[in-house]
């Protein structure tokens, strides 16, 4: 069997399995066999019916940020709040390494591969990490990973100065059982208020079979907000006293917002503090949301601005996305960052991408009209973006490279 027939046969088998299990053809299918996205018209570049503005005269391009670095399965990039200028990068297998400022020098920071099933079933693995606001003083950093049972683990580790001993400093802050291997969410980040925010998907499969998105008695399908400033073995975390659902019997105290399907990458605007989330859609629409305290983002009543599996639905008290796009333009949104770097034409724009199509969009936030512009289209899949202390945005690609934006005339 030649290679093309092999790809077609494998793609048909994968999608057949997904249809039987009611799992949408999205990030998981594309990550297993990238050609499956185009073969099954998940992305149709020749017949795009989209609502984005194509920027034809833009003076922006992508360049490889670190020419000597090529690493597979990178899923997150961030900084450590210590003014070192280092960029920390995680791989899905469980390695976090850092790149020294203005160099291509790479050093291992921590290796937790022994805590993760290296078969990486579904959408599991190391999914996110962040540094404590007081990292300079306490050395704490936090990792979101799935263990061998598929349970979502949010753990605190300590930078002890010794790579091997860091592995053994784990304090498991939160453990959430997952009914399926997909829709784990994965972002964790500290807000300007000093609290830890955690993004969790609806538990997986397809269509939210357990209705977790609208169930306040589960942590799934939600953004959580907890206080880890005094965490210990006897008191893993506390609930901030201004969380929206405290003493509400219909909601868990940890929940900050809910009604999300699979929030894949969230970030705080480093200037305004607004919380942006890219929420992966089911069959038709992807969306970008600005998260508000106590907000209900509609899943699985809504998919984007549209009723899910119904012609009509009750939209009362639901918060609609600031931007949606259809599966004519992609199949799995990758949330991004508000740009505050050196390129004037990108400043104060929210940059995000689609994993399957490689399209990179910008949303101008100044007038709150929230019209998206397609800046560029990369010839690769984009699982995540990152941002440094200066507001520059980086693009992690499954071709093993880290990219950044550059002005053509400046080269």
CATH number at residue 314: 2.120.10.30
9 φ/ψ angles, rounded to the nearest 5 degrees: -60, -45
Q: Are residues 32 and 76 in the same domain?
A: no
Q: Tell me, yes or no, whether 203 lies in a domain.
A: yes
Q: Are residues 6 and 103 in the same domain?
A: no
Residue with tokens 């003083």: 137
Cβ atoms of residues 117 and 94 within 8 Å:
no
- d(Cα 362, Cα 136) in Å, to the nearest integer? 33
Reading the block at residue 317, the tokens are 């008290």
Q: Are residues 149 and 257 in the same domain?
A: yes
- d(Cα 89, Cα 375) in Å, to the nearest integer? 25
Residue with tokens 């791989």: 91
Q: Are residues 108 and 218 in the same domain?
A: yes
The β-bridge partners of 144 are 128, 154
Q: Are residues 78 and 13 in the same domain?
A: no
**Domain final residue pick, 316, 340, 364:** 340
Beta strands 372-377 and 53-54 are parallel
Beta strands 152-158 and 140-146 are antiparallel
- d(Cα 251, Cα 234) in Å, to the nearest integer? 24
So what's the pLDDT on residue 340?
98
Q: Are residues 1 and 116 in the same domain?
A: no
Please provide the distance, in angstroms rounded to a whole number, between the alpha carbons at the two ends of the chain.
46
Cβ atoms of residues 183 and 123 within 8 Å:
yes
What is the Cα Rg of the chain in Å? 20
Q: Tell me, yes or no, whether 201 lies in a domain.
A: yes
Contacts of 53 (CB under 8 A, 6+ apart): 371, 372, 373, 374
So what's the pLDDT on residue 54?
43
Q: Are residues 28 and 82 in the same domain?
A: no
Q: Tell me, yes or no, whether 387 lies in a domain.
A: no
- Domains contained in the chain, number: 2
So what's the pLDDT on residue 233?
97
Number of H helices, E strands in the chain: 5, 27
Q: Are residues 81 and 38 in the same domain?
A: no
**Domain final residue pick, 309, 340, 371:** 340
Which domain range does residue 144 map to?
69-340
**Digits of tens for pLDDT over the chain (411 positions)?**
444 444 444 444 444 444 444 444 444 444 444 433 433 233 334 433 344 444 446 789 999 999 999 999 999 999 998 999 999 999 999 999 999 999 999 999 999 999 999 999 999 999 999 999 999 999 999 999 999 999 999 999 999 988 989 999 999 999 999 999 999 999 999 999 999 999 999 999 999 999 999 999 999 999 999 999 999 999 999 999 999 999 999 999 999 999 999 999 999 999 999 999 999 999 999 999 999 999 999 999 999 999 998 889 999 999 999 999 999 999 999 999 999 999 999 999 999 999 999 999 999 998 889 999 999 988 789 999 999 999 999 999 999 999 999 998 765
So what's the pLDDT on residue 311?
87
Q: Tell me, yes or no, whether 177 lies in a domain.
A: yes
Q: 180, 247, 174: which is closest to 209 by C-alpha?
A: 180
Q: Are residues 150 and 261 in the same domain?
A: yes
**Domain final residue pick, 312, 340, 368:** 340
- d(Cα 204, Cα 30) in Å, to the nearest integer? 17
Cβ atoms of residues 36 and 88 within 8 Å:
no
Q: Tell me, yes or no, whether 196 lies in a domain.
A: yes
Q: Tell me, yes or no, whether 379 lies in a domain.
A: no
Cβ atoms of residues 129 and 96 within 8 Å:
yes
Q: Are residues 242 and 301 in the same domain?
A: yes
Q: Are residues 33 and 95 in the same domain?
A: no
pTM of the model: 0.89
Q: Tell me, yes or no, whether 136 lies in a domain.
A: yes
Q: Tell me, yes or no, whether 273 lies in a domain.
A: yes
- d(Cα 283, Cα 330) in Å, to the nearest integer? 11
Q: Are residues 164 and 287 in the same domain?
A: yes
Beta strands 372-377 and 384-387 are unpaired
- d(Cα 345, Cα 408) in Å, to the nearest integer? 12
């Amino acid at each position: 069997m030649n290679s093309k027939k092999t790809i077609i046969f494998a793609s048909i088998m994968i999608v057949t399995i997904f249809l039987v299990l009611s799992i949408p053809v999205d990030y998981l299918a594309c990550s297993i066999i990238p050609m499956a996205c185009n073969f099954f018209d998940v992305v149709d570049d020749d017949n795009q019916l989209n609502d984005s503005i194509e920027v034809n005269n833009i003076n922006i391009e992508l360049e490889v940020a670190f020419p000597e670095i090529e690493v597979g399965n990178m899923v997150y990039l961030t900084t450590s709040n210590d003014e070192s200028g280092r960029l920390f990068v995680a791989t899905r297998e469980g390695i976090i390494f850092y790149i020294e400022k203005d160099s291509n020098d790479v050093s291992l920071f921590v290796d937790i591969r022994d805590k993760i099933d290296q078969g990486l079933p579904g959408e599991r693995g190391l999914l996110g990490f962040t540094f404590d606001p007081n990292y300079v003083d306490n050395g704490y950093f936090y990792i979101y990973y799935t263990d061998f049972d598929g349970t979502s683990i949010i753990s605190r580790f300590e930078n002890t100065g010794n790579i091997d001993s860091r592995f053994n400093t784990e304090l498991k802050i939160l453990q959430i059982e997952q009914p399926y291997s997909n829709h784990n969410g994965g972002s964790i980040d500290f807000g300007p208020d000093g609290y830890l925010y955690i993004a969790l998907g609806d538990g997986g499969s397809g269509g939210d079979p357990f209705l977790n998105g609208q169930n306040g008695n589960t942590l799934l399908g939600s953004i959580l907000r907890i206080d880890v400033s005094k965490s210990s073995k006897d008191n893993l975390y506390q609930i901030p006293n201004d969380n929206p659902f405290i003493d509400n019997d219909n909601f868990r105290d940890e929940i900050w917002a809910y009604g999300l399907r699979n929030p894949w990458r969230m970030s705080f605007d480093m200037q305004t503090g607004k919380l942006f989330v890219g929420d992966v859609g089911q069959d038709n629409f992807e969306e970008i949301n600005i998260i508000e305290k106590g907000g209900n983002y509609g899943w699985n009543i809504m998919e984007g601005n549209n009723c899910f599996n119904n012609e009509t639905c009750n939209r009362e008290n639901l918060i609609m996305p600031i931007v949606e796009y259809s599966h004519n333009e992609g199949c799995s949104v990758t949330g991004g960052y508000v740009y505050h770097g050196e390129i004037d034409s990108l400043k104060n724009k929210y940059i995000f991408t689609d994993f399957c199509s490689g399209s990179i969009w910008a949303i101008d936030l100044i007038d709150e009209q929230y019209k998206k512009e397609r800046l560029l289209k990369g010839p690769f899949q984009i699982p995540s973006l990152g941002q440094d202390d200066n507001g520059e945005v980086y693009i992690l690609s499954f071709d093993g490279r880290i990219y950044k934006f550059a002005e053509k005339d400046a080269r």
